[in-house]
Amino acid sequence: MELRQLASFLAVVEEGQFARAAARLFLSPPAVTGHIQRLERELGVQLLERSPIALTPAGERLVPHARTMLAAANAATDAVTDLRADDDLPLRVGVMAPGSAELTPAILRAFRRAQPNVPLSVESLGFAEHTTALTEHKVDLAFVRPRPEDERLNVDVLTTEPRVLIVPSAGPGGDADALRLSDVLDLIFVGLPEGVPQVFTDYLYFAPALNGIPPRCGVDEAATIQDVLTSVSAGRGTGAALYSFSRLYRWPGIRFVPVVDAPWAQSVLASRRDDLRPQVRAFRTLATTMARELGPRLASASEAARSLILPEP
């Protein structure tokens, strides 16, 4: 029994004529007749009376099953076609610079080598897009910090690092080898624009460790790390970051000073929990594998400062 035979059978039943059924299927009338005759021979029963066209008892029994089989075949075709269409879509990766330090470009390069047929695009994210870039479907995965608190998202931790303050070289704290959380209260921070989620604001200003005491903010507002660095280098405020930033950004007029008693913080790869595409799963698996393999090497780059930083909680 073939699907084309069932399609011809149903077309004749629904159209009431072989000619109209053939036109509907873009076949010749003899082809439709041949399909039904072969189907009747295979089943060993007559399905249609020919003059006039009418269903036999066997034909009546076959109709609902034929419709179910054709519907299932169409659904399977649609599912495969949809998957092929998904494969053609670019995998959009958001990066709140610098992402997860040196891991970010390494993961992107490795995925391009491992999945050369999957188009990959990289989008720059601002602080306000900490979670909305994902929940509003601007990107499919995102390198962000700190860990989002959103049940709609999957989160894979890639780095766990000490905290540093970004201070003007000639400003408060600029001559210090290390600072403590108590020193944070005396500094004026670069502000954040409206719309930045509270979890990011709390992270940036050490709010949990300072019992929620609000920071003193200057007039500058920063939407990205580049904005923070620009304001700090101009002596217009203080920023905060993960320790890896001190390896990645060499700006004149700034220093990265460890905060020795601050809780360590994480950079993560986040994705939508309901996005089950194999490309997303493959990217997450690759990222977490590389974080396990390369993480210890990246951590070794921090050893020079470890004597100033308390052990990870």
Q: Of 272, 23, 307, whose CA–CA distance to 141 is shortest?
A: 272
What residues contact 88, with CB distance under 8 A and at least 6 apart? 119
Beta strands in 16-113 (DSSP E): 48-50, 53-55, 91-95
Which CATH fold topology does 161-258 show? D-Maltodextrin-Binding Protein; domain 2 (3.40.190)
pLDDT at 310: 45
Domain parsing of the chain, residue ranges: 3-87, 91-160+265-308, 161-258
Check if the beta carbon of residue 308 is closer than 8 Å to that of residue 177: yes
| Domain 3-87 shares a fold with domain 91-160+265-308 | no
Task: DSSP for 220-256, please give it.
Answer: EE-SSHHHHHHHHHTTS-BEEEETTHHHH---TTEEE
Residue (of 295, 278, 302) closest to 106 by Cα position: 295
Cβ atoms of 47 and 39 within 8 Å: the answer is yes
- Report the alpha-carbon distance of residue 158 to residue 289 in Å, rounded: 9
Task: Tell whether omega for the bond before 98 is within 30 degrees of 0, i.e. cis.
Answer: yes
Q: Is the dihedral of CA 101, 105, 108, 111 positive or negative?
A: negative
| pLDDT value, residue 74 | 66
pLDDT in tens, the chain (313 residues): 788 888 888 888 898 888 998 888 888 889 889 999 998 999 999 998 988 889 999 989 988 888 877 776 665 555 555 455 455 688 999 999 999 999 999 999 999 988 888 999 999 999 999 999 999 999 999 999 999 999 999 999 999 999 999 999 988 888 899 999 999 888 999 999 999 999 999 999 999 999 888 889 999 999 999 999 999 999 999 999 999 999 899 888 999 999 999 999 999 999 999 999 999 999 999 999 888 877 665 655 444 444 444 444 4
pLDDT of res. 214: 85
Question: Which regions of the chain does DSSP assign to beta strands (E)?
Answer: 48-50, 53-55, 91-95, 120-124, 141-144, 153-161, 163-168, 188-191, 216-221, 239-242, 254-258, 265-272
The CATH number given to 3-87 is 1.10.10.10
Whether the Cβ atoms of residue 135 and residue 143 lie closer than 8 Å to each other: no
- The third-level CATH classification (topology) of the domain covering 91-160+265-308 is D-Maltodextrin-Binding Protein; domain 2 (3.40.190)
Whether the Cβ atoms of residue 66 and residue 14 lie closer than 8 Å to each other: no
What pLDDT, on a 0 to 100 scale, did the predictor assign at position 309? 45
Query: Do 173 and 257 touch, CB atoms closer than 8 A?
Result: yes
Predicted structure pTM score: 0.69
- State how far Cα 251 lies from the chain centre: 31
CA 202/CA 212 separation, integer angstroms: 8
Dihedral of CA atoms 105, 106, 112, 113 in degrees, nearest 10, equals 150
Secondary structure (3-state) at 120: strand
**Rounded distance between C-alpha atoms, residue 78 and residue 72, angstroms:** 10
H or E element in which residue 170 lies: none
